[in-house]
A and B are shown apart, each in its own frame.
Chain A
Amino acid sequence: MLWYKGWLETRYRLCMALGITAFFLYTLHSFPPQAKNQIFAVLQNTSAILLGMICTMLAGAGIVTQPAFQRTKGLHGSMLFTLTLPVSRLRLLVVRAGLGWVETAATIGAFCCGIWFASPFLRATATSAQVLEYGLTTLVCMSAIYFLSVLLATFLDDTWRTWITLMAFIFFWWFSHRVSLPAYVDIFSAVGKASPLIAHTIPWSTMAFSAVVSLALFFAAWKVAQAREY
């Protein structure tokens, strides 16, 4: 019943994530992009940031997680209870990281469908299949951010984790605009100008890179969770 517990912990976060997405889509709908460069701008910048934020929010996958709105108490008592149950730390991590990832996927899915309906221009210039491809690309590329947050969550409390992930994300985003990065590293391009909706191709190399980074970060998270003392 770890999934059930995780769900009880994160359902409000998911609602918030969907709410923010809905709000964004509403804004998009009210000021629909009329030209290619506008779509480009929307996807490259705004949505990348939005999705990064969402990943950060939903990755409360650390065993150090505290339920939302709970005062920080150092070592949270209920975590003591969880850790004394007959579950391995790996399983705890897999369930919570997995659940958060599924929720992120759901939000990205909602975002992609929403963007399709919000922008007539997009409907004209891209096929529905490409929207699905876009969703998949975004999910895989954003996973690197997600698992960074997972790793941080194994040893930081919620507040620190959220801010640091956000800082890291913004820094890399800014960096990718300053310096010309090789295609496979630039995940921001992958959800922007190199994405299926604009470039009409799937950026496989970036996705592969992100997948590898995600796995590495998850592995690191596992090692930290295993080594940690409570």
Chain B
Amino acid sequence: MTDFIIETNQLSKSFKSKQALRGLDLRVPAGSIFGFLGRNGAGKTTTIKTLMGLLRADSGSAQVFGIPVADADNSVGIRRRIGFVTEDKELYPYMTVEQIIRYTRSFFPQWRDDLERRYLERFELDPKVKIPALSKGMRSKLMLLLAISRGAELLILDEPTDGLDPAAIEDVLCELVSIAASSGTTMFFSSHQLAEVDRIADHVGIIDQGRMVVSGSLDDMKLRYQRLQVVFADSAKIPTHWSEGIESLRQQGRTVSILASRNVEDIAEQAQSIPGTTVERFPVTLKEIFLEHTRSN
């Protein structure tokens, strides 16, 4: 049995104005870095809030560490083992850096003093500064420090690099990778930045309109998806029915551009069997996969 540290089954949640989640199936393998991608309003934050016990799903189930999140007492126990970064990086405006560290530490018996010291230094956080005096980037880093120093098995990060400048983003990604390498902590992060996800995620899940449209190992996805550029001798020869596996097909004159998510060999063969065609194959980027699955169809 594969070890999923987060698992949801047909999770559904609607609010007064809209249906946020429509039967979401999410599986996050333990020890992975999972990039949760989706457009604004697709349901990323709703999913994360449900996992953290802030919202209750209408139907379906969600488990973290194999424990159902629906039970309030369980939820407290689950949260004790998670390092979390909120979407808006707001903390208490009346505390200093030092105060909020002490405060947060009191809830986590497994707090890592060594990590706290390390990140205070690396992120250049002055303990005496009041939180409102910090820039948004510094607040994000402080939240990360608070999340990581808990010594948790799982990190759930909602847009961790939001509002950070490129140098700060680099710092943050570097630290996340370092943690993954040294402790095997699972990381689940939602992001708009495909470039980041491309770099450090080994698994991705793309959510669109409340549903998981594609998910799995990023490397496998890149291997499975291919773009075929087929030039026909005569546009009349272009087949009307194609083999399975085509996500999209665009035709311009005698050229047909195909994005296939599987079965590429059969599709290529079908094209090549028509005399006079040339077939070229190109790899597909994560961005193309993302756009393909999230643009309104």
Contacts and interface: CB of A to CB of B under 8 A. Distances in A.
Q: Do chains A and B touch in the complex (CB under 8 A)?
A: yes
Contact of B79 (A4, A5, A67, A86): A86
Interface residues of A, number: 22
B173 interface: no
Contact of B106 (A1, A83, A88): A1
Contacts of A67: 92-94
Contact of A84 (B77, B84, B95, B108): B84
Contacts of A4: 103
Nearest to B15: A229
A67 B91 CA distance: 11
Contacts of B77: 86
A8 B95 contact: yes
A201 interface: no
Given A78-B91, A81-B86, A86-B107, 16 more contacts: A1-B102, A1-B103, A4-B103, A8-B95, A9-B94, A76-B90, A80-B54, A80-B90, A84-B52, A84-B54, A84-B84, A84-B86, A87-B107, A88-B73, A88-B76, A230-B49
Nearest to A226: B72
Interface of B: 49, 52-56, 72-73, 76-77, 79-80, 84, 86-95, 99, 102-104, 106-108
A77 interface: yes
A81 B91 contact: yes
A80 B94 contact: no
A229 B52 CA distance: 11
A184 B54 CA distance: 41
A80 B88 contact: yes
A81 B92 CA distance: 9
B72 A89 contact: yes
Contacts of A88: 72-73, 76
